Structure 1
Amino acid sequence: MLDQSYYEVADKIIEKYGKKPSSLIPVMQDIQAEYRYLPGELLTYTAKQIGVTEAKAYSVATFYENFSFEPKGKYVIKVCDGTACHVRKSMPILEELYKQLGLGKKKHTTEDMMFTVETVSCLGACGLAPTLMVNEDVHPKMSPEKVIELLEELRGEGA
């Protein structure tokens, strides 16, 4: 059960876009931006408030890869595994991230909610391969050694 403050935030977001079905996606985006994931209870609440079925809201949320029902860390690290990045050794970068953070294919977020690691098909920066993103920042020409430096830098910011 979510704290009442979650619903109050959702109400403010809904008010911003209006109680209409066309508000569904921007409301979901803002809720996810606020909490770094889309709480299922809030999605159900939002659907009711704007006049769409719960099934419609969930179908939209599950259609777009951008939405997540799982809480994510402060830093979401997306490792590109597109062709250019893969050929230029993006998998050792992913393996180093897993090793440094104690994560793996089944566990994507650290216990302290500091880091989430995901793989993506393409970041659109093939000339900079191998590439990863931390939140909205692109990090080009990465290596396992550079990953260690990047994590140290991020840990320093988060302290």
Structure 2
Amino acid sequence: MQDNEHKRLVEMIDGYKGKEGSLIQLLLDLQSEFNWISKDALQEISERLKIPPSRIYRIASFYEAISLKPIGKHKISVCMGTACQVRGSGMILDRTESKLKIKQGGTTPDMRFTLKRVNCLGCCAIGPVMVVDDDYHGRLTSDRVERIIKKYD
């Protein structure tokens, strides 16, 4: 971690001192700021807030929105719920993996994209669905996948 990143980390953690029950929000804020939470950051949280490392890790590893390993600048989630599957989400996932040259759960070597499959995105009526960052793309076809990825490249 670079000095300026460490300084920002300490500022953010110290902003939560004395605030009971705010660990999840702190972790989400750190995720938003750094795009992942390192072991060093977990240790810093433990030391500065006097919370056992095991408790922090248990919470951080439980939430899907928190990553304990570096992820890409853009997070792509492909819905694999029943409604999306019957409409071809398997092909959408295959095409996305092929285009990015990674498997689901992976991150491109240039750290631009991380690809995940999710059980349901809650918008079954417009399936198959892909979310890139916070942008929902519905009624997908294999051809649209390439155009969508290019938009974020």
Return 5+ residue gaps in structure 1 as ranges: none
Q: Deviation digits for residues 13-47 of structure 1, max 9, x if unmatched?
A: 12333344522111111111111111111011112
Equivalence for 2:95: 96
Q: Relative to 1, partners in 2 of residues 1:80 and 1:68: Cα closer, same or farther, differing over 3 Å? A: same
| Matching residue's letter, 1:112 | D
Q: What is the aligned-residue RMSD (CA, Å)?
A: 1.4
1:152 & 1:57 partners in 2: Cα distance?
37
110, 119, 122: which one pairs with 1:121? Answer: 119
Query: Aligned to 2:69, what secondary structure does the other structure show?
Result: coil
Query: Aligned to 1:127, what secondary structure does the other structure show?
Result: helix
Q: Confirm or deny: 8 A CA contact 2:14 2:48 kept in the other structure.
A: no
1:28 & 1:18 partners in 2: Cα distance?
13
Bigger shift: residues 3-12 or 68-77: 3-12
Return 5+ residue gaps in structure 2 as ranges: none
Equivalence for 1:140: 138
Matched, 1:149 2:152: no
Equivalence for 2:81: 82
- Aligned pairs for 1:17-32 (under 5 A) are 17-32=16-31
1:80 & 1:93 partners in 2: Cα distance?
9
Query: Aligned to 2:15, what secondary structure does the other structure show?
Result: helix
1:45 & 1:88 partners in 2: Cα distance?
46
Aligned residues: 153
Structure 2-normalised TM-score?
0.93
1:35 & 1:24 partners in 2: Cα distance?
16
Identity rate, percent:
31
Structure 1-normalised TM-score?
0.90
Runs of 4+ in 1 over 3 A off after TM superposition: none
